[in-house]
Structures are given as C-alpha cells and as structure tokens.
Structure 1
Amino acid sequence: MKIFNLVGCGILACGFLLSCNTSTKKEQQQSSTVASKDSDEALLDQIQKQTFRYFWEGAEPTSGLARERIHIDGNYPENDQQVITIGGSGFGIMGMVVAMERGYISKDQGAQRLDSIMNYLAEIPRFKGAWSHWYHGDSKKVKAFSEKDNGGDIVETAFLTQALIVVREYFKNGDELQKTVAQKADDLWKGIDWKHYTNGKNVLYWHWSPSHQFGMNHAIQGYDECLITYVLAASSPTHPIDTAVYREGWARSGKIVSDLQKLHIPIGIKHNAKEAEVGPLFWAHYSFTGLNPIGLSDSYVNYEEVVKNHTQINIAYAEANPKQFKGYGKDKGWGLTASYSIAGYDAHHPDNDKSVISPTAALSSMPYAPKESIAFARYLLDSLDTKVWGKYGFYDAYSETENWYPQRYLAIDQGPIVVMIENYRSGLIWELFMSAPEIQAGLKKLGFNHP
C-alpha cells in the first residue's frame, strides 16, 4: 500500500484554460442544493460533472494531467503544487471519456487534451516502459516517492494503462485526430516491459529503478488493489508474463483464498492485512475501474462476491458503529478507505477506524451497493452541505465526531468517483476495457471466466 501526495491557479497552457482553484460559498451552496433535491439521475450527473472538474479545470497546466492534490484551503508541502500523479491521472483520463460521452466536454476538446497528454507521457522518463508514481509536471522530472522509489512503479503504471486501453477503444474508429490519439495510446501501452518487473521470478515486483534496481523488494501478492497489474501483464502483446507468475505470485498457489468472515459476511479472499481483517475499500475500486468484476472469477476466487462483500462489510460496520461515532449508518456515513485523516494520511478500515469517512469509499462502490451509495450522497448534501462539498465535488474526507472538514482533494480518490458511478449508470468504461482483444485473451490465459 502506498501513500499519496498536489494544485493551483489556472493559466492558459497546452491550449487549455485552467481556472483558479477557488470557489465561493455561494457557488458551493448552489451546487449542493440543486443536487440534493434532484432525481437520482440528476444527482449522479451533478456529482460526476462537479468531480470531473478536478481533472479538467484543476489539471497541471504543462502536462494536462492530474495534480496529486488540490487544497482549497492552501497549506501545501514544499514544491508540491505542480506534482502530477500517474495512477490518479489514469482515473482522470477515464473520467474524460465519461465527460465526452456525457457531453460535459466535446469530443474535439477531449481529443485535443488527450493528444497533448499522450505526447507528454511519451516524453517523460520511463523505466523499462513503466512510469514513476510522481513527476514534477512543469519540469517533467521524476519526484521520488521515497528514497529507493525513484524509478518505475508498475502498479501506478497499471492504473494508467487501464485508461490508455479505454481511450484506444473509444477513439479507434473516430476522426483523424481521434485515431491518432488511439494509436499513441496503443504505442504507450505496448512499450511497457511487464516481464522485466518479475526480476526473473514467478511474481511481479512493484518497483524498479536504474539506481536501486529491485531494492524496494516489494512483491505484489493478492489481495489488495493490484489485480489489474497481473491482468495487464498477462495481456501484453509485447512483454507478457507467464501464467505461473500469476498463479504463484498473485494467487499464492491458492493461498489467496479465505474462509474467514467479518460481521458474519464472508471475506472470500486473503486480504493483505492481519487475519480476519479487511483492507481499505479502495481495494474494491482501483483495479475495477476498467476490469469488470461482475461475473468475474478464476479457479481460486469469485471477484464479484469479493467486492460486493467488502462493500457490505463496510455498510454493516457503519450500521453497528461499535465506537459510536457521530454520523455513521447505512443511510448516513459509511465506507472506510485510504484518505486524508485527522493526523495526516491513513488507510482506514473496520480495524483501523479513526471516525474519518471519505466519500470516495461509498460513491465508488455504487455498482456494488447503489441504494446505500445514493443514500450516502443525499445524506452528505442534506446534512453537511458545503462542509463536505466544494468546487471539485465532495472533499476527500471528514469526521463529524471531530468536527473536522478539510477543504482538500486527492486525485487518486476523486477519479474513481466519476468512473465507478458511470460503470453503475451505463457500464461505459467496463465495456470499453473488457472489449479490448488483448484483455479478453489475457483473462482467458489466466483461467478467468467472465460473461
């Protein structure tokens, strides 16, 4: 698991007008009041449209990619305002496809932005085809995530690659510019050397850099947010991994399976946490923005049951509310994930509950529990209003118990909101990603079943 770090006033760059990251209380109130009283469809449209602004108006101006963080209330880490995030940008790019399809922006606007983005992604340093977790957007230089994490990050790369494939599938039969963007996205995806990240073993390793090699020594094993990394690595038409890498690495030769329960709900899979614990809820989202878990299973795990049960455990926990935190409940606040916290950043889950709710947890679970997710959104807008709602949609996290309402956003949390709500509404991103012939072949290669 990794911890994430972004924002600023807009300028005219790359042909895009990026507006100032400020909003008046009147603007916030108008947005939330309209949404809270509308039909479900209008409510979801409002949330998607407002959240998408993070990736459109709030983008880093040189790259057009997602800033790691936007703090409406200021107070950034030093030299952090122009830092871009590769994984968060992947979710944002998929959000652009949603925005084009929904008419928030035109296809021509989207294609122009994406053309510049593809050029930028081709120009910045890559490590055996993989991108780093962070870059300084203005200088195109890598920003190390930690001392030895200064090279390729194959997991963040996977989150971006989902988006590259989605863009290719969306634009491949379009006009001349759209086809050009599709080809650039395809070239980027085919340039990733997934096999290199095995270090010659039957497991993928998260990091590699020229200076530290595989010094981080972080083997990627199930279960957490990383399933998509193995699916893409197996699906690669240029540098694929062998089936044994998935079987022995991710699936741990069958040890990924669990018969444990939480709150009388089967967990179904061994989470990378202490026994009988479940991880933060983003584990049910990041890999599944493109990869459709509904009906997805292999010889070890039924992934539809895993993500739905993970969601139901969060709902049941909020309803039980063992610590008696204010505002918890299945029709109120629920959903624990990695987000800002009262003391810095934390990975929240039922065994690490700090009274902090992050809206992305429930909203990005909409395909799995739509009734409870929509009830959560209405609760926030009706009960907390502008305490939790701003220029780029719902703020990253809050605590009613501590009366804590920071006006801050993180790309990695905002992006899945747009995408997963769309997957609930139309299935658009799931359909595009799952229709890619390489993905179909890769899933078959790994022994997956899917409708």
Structure 2
Amino acid sequence: LIVACERGWVTRNELQERVSRALDCLERATCYHGLYPHFMRGDTGATKPFSRKDDGADLVETAFLFQGLLCVRAYFSGDRPEEARIRDRITYLWREAEWDWYTQGTRTALTWHWSHTNGFALNHPIHGWNECLIAYVLAASSPRYSIAVEAYHEGWAQGREFLNRRTFEGVELPLGPDWGGPLFFTHYSFCGIDPRGLSDAYADYWTQNVAHTRINYDYCVRNPRGYKGYGPNCWGLTAGDSVKGYDAHSPRIDKGVITPSGALSSFPYTPEEAMAALRHFHDNLGEKIWGRYGFIDGFSEQHDWYADSYLAISQGPIVVMIENYRTGLIWNLFMGIPEIQEGMKRLGFKSPHFASAIA
C-alpha cells in the first residue's frame, strides 16, 4: 500500500483509510502476549487454527506483520491529526508485543508458537538460516519486551543449517542449507531489512542474498532434471502452490514448478535475470499466468498445470522488492526507524543506515 501511494495508484487518504481498517481489526483480534496467529477471521479477529496444536500465536508471521506496520508508522510522518493517530495506534501494538515471553524464560532462542490451550507444546525453536531473521531483529528492538542478545547468538546463529560456506553452481554460499533453500529466504525478512552493506559477525548479507539467488538461477538454467520451460527467462524456485498442494520449492525440492515471486522478488539481487523472467511471464505466457491480481502463484509447463490462486505472501514481496530495487523506499523507511537501528546494533549489525534515523 505504501508503494501504491508513492506510485500514485491510491491517494494518501485512501491509504490512511485502508490502514485504519486494518488497525481496527488488529485491535479487536485475539492475540497472545501481544502476538498474533497465523490466520484470523477478518470479520471478527478470532483465531483460525493452522493445525490442532497451532491454535495461538505465530511469532514469525507476527514479525512480518510488524515489519509492515512499522514502515507504515514511518511513512505517516506528517503533522495531520489523522497521521499522528495512526502512528500512536501502531506504537501501542508494537509496545504490547511481548517478544521475550517466547524465549520461555531462557536466553537461548525464540520459540515459534504459543497458545492458551497448548502452551509451547509444538516446541519449535527458531534457528537459522531461513526466513526468520526479522523475528530476531524485532525482538531485539522492542521498546518494552526485548530479548537478550544471547538468544540471537546462541539460538539463531547456532542452527544446524546456519553456516555453510560451500560452493554450489560455482558460487560460494555463506549461510543456509545446501543449495540455499527456497528463494523466499532472501525476500520476506528483507522487505524491510536492507541487505546492502549489512554485515555482522556471521555474514555480509548482500553477498549472502546475491549468492543464494545466483545459485537458484544457475540451477534452473542448467535444469538437471530436464523440466519443460526452465531456462534463462523462466526460473525461480520458492514456496508456493504446487501441483499437489503447497510446497517449498528449491533445487533440492524441485518438482518442475516455477513460482513467479521467486524471480520477480529477486530484482534487487539479479535485475537483468529478473527482468528477463518478467518479460517472458507477461509477454509469452500471458493469460496462462497473468490475471486480475497479477501473476498466479505457480505453474508447471512440465505438468501442464497452472494455479488458480493468488497468495498475498507471494504478491506482496513482488511489489515491495521491485520498489526497493527502484528507489529503496521500504528499506529506507524500515532501516531509519530508531528502535530498529538500536536493536540491530545490539545484535552486532553494521549498516550504512545507522548514521541517520527517521523520527
């Protein structure tokens, strides 16, 4: 929505109205120590269980939510009472999110789920490397309920698939599982976190994300399984709807399914390759994969299968990451937030953004 406002697709007043309605929902929704479930009913805010035991908070999905909310707060920086009210409402939700509760009283790692009925029964500690970096950044940045820095270093950074440093498709991969995993690892947390010039004790994150994307692209071009359609203008293995349900596609889990958000959300990392995919998807495949809400979630020329779905978690990063490539808009908003700067500094991050802040 911020991008839409900047590009002139919606007015600032329309954006304000949409944000206000979303905040109305969040303020009446059931939350769990300030965190929200994976799914909720839009009309009532009641939790819609993801599974039998996953019937409460989803810390990672909440982190994606707050990444967006804090960008909205930074964007509405004007003196108008309506904008001040939106800032205040978002700040209230942000201050009430009890991130430290989800360390279970320890200093070792965040836990993904908690509910009133099942507690921490799912017992899913959040270790790296994957899409969850934003959770630790927000938890360290919380103005009231921040986590100890040990949780980042002893929990997140000690995951079995954190450090890699092996070579795939001729490219050294600093972090993550072999072959990099699904491309959304380079998208979801990095809608707000700017990887340009970002580093800590473990990696340079621009190098990490470019390497991951290059490996995914080069694998699709090489196409070792001979799937129909793969090539320099048709690539991108990431999570999305698949021939038989939802799947997290990657070079290690390659089922002949291309998810458009894989290539299109990678514009910052491989702009020429992403543009080639965009042209092919739009100009050549056309109505097979392009519809009312943009590109469908996935397709397979190998299996002659084309999804009839559009998933928000795929559509959103496409718009945000293309705009980050064009102007750095969302990166600049998020990385300029004072709490985020302080939290990332606590964790040991260095970034060119830390020289200035947005009030």
In which range does the TM-score fall when normalised by the shorter chain? over 0.9
Match of 1:424 in 2: 325
The aligned runs of 1:255-270 (5 Å cut-off) are 256-270=162-176
Q: 1:174 to 1:308 in 2, by over 3 A?
A: farther
What's the secondary structure of 2:209's corresponding residue? Answer: helix
Q: 1:302 to 1:120 in 2, by over 3 A?
A: same
Equivalent-residue separation in structure 1 for 2:71 and 2:303 (angstroms): 41
Which of 102, 123, 144 is the matching residue for 1:217? 123
The aligned runs of 1:215-294 (5 Å cut-off) are 215-252=121-158, 256-271=162-177, 276-294=178-196
C-alpha displacement of 1:140: 2.2
The reply on whether 1:379 has 2:280 as its aligned counterpart is yes
Equivalent-residue separation in structure 2 for 1:137 and 1:171 (angstroms): 24
C-alpha displacement of 1:297: 0.9
Equivalent-residue separation in structure 1 for 2:275 and 2:161 (angstroms): 36
What's the secondary structure of 1:419's corresponding residue? Answer: helix
The reply on whether 1:325 has 2:227 as its aligned counterpart is yes
Q: Deviations over 1:245-285 (max 9, x none)?
A: 111011118983222121121111133xxxx3421111110
C-alpha displacement of 1:386: 0.2
RMSD (Å) for aligned C-alpha atoms: 1.3
Answer whether contact 2:179 2:212 (CA < 8 A) is retained.
Answer: no
What's the secondary structure of 2:246's corresponding residue? Answer: strand
The reply on whether 1:108 has 2:9 as its aligned counterpart is no
Question: Structure 1 stretches (4+) deviating beyond 3 angstroms?
Answer: none
Equivalent-residue separation in structure 1 for 2:239 and 2:304 (angstroms): 19
Count of paired positions: 351
Letter in 1 for 2:121: G
The reply on whether 1:140 has 2:41 as its aligned counterpart is no
Match of 1:191 in 2: 96
Which of 325, 336, 339 is the matching residue for 1:435? 336
C-alpha displacement of 1:345: 1.1
Equivalent-residue separation in structure 1 for 2:244 and 2:74 (angstroms): 42
Equivalent-residue separation in structure 1 for 2:332 and 2:150 (angstroms): 28
C-alpha displacement of 1:344: 1.0
The reply on whether 1:314 has 2:219 as its aligned counterpart is no
Answer whether contact 1:277 1:351 (CA < 8 A) is retained.
Answer: yes
Equivalent-residue separation in structure 2 for 1:346 and 1:270 (angstroms): 18
C-alpha displacement of 1:432: 0.3
Match of 1:86 in 2: none
Q: Deviations over 1:295-318 (max 9, x none)?
A: 111011111111111100111011
Q: Deviations over 1:309-344 (max 9, x none)?
A: 1100111011101111112112x2101001111111
C-alpha displacement of 1:290: 0.5
What's the secondary structure of 1:225's corresponding residue? Answer: coil
Equivalent-residue separation in structure 1 for 2:159 and 2:47 (angstroms): 36
Q: Normalised by the size of structure 1, how large is the TM-score?
A: 0.76
Equivalent-residue separation in structure 2 for 1:270 and 1:109 (angstroms): 40
Answer whether contact 2:242 2:307 (CA < 8 A) is retained.
Answer: no
Match of 1:120 in 2: 25
Answer whether contact 2:25 2:44 (CA < 8 A) is retained.
Answer: no
C-alpha displacement of 1:407: 2.3
Letter in 2 for 1:206: W
Unaligned runs of 5+ in 1: 1-95
What's the secondary structure of 1:346's corresponding residue? Answer: strand
The reply on whether 1:446 has 2:347 as its aligned counterpart is yes
The reply on whether 1:163 has 2:68 as its aligned counterpart is yes
Match of 2:205 in 1: 303
Letter in 1 for 2:197: G
Match of 2:255 in 1: 354
Q: 1:174 to 1:356 in 2, by over 3 A?
A: farther
C-alpha displacement of 1:177: 0.9
Equivalent-residue separation in structure 2 for 1:306 and 1:184 (angstroms): 36
Equivalent-residue separation in structure 1 for 2:306 and 2:149 (angstroms): 46
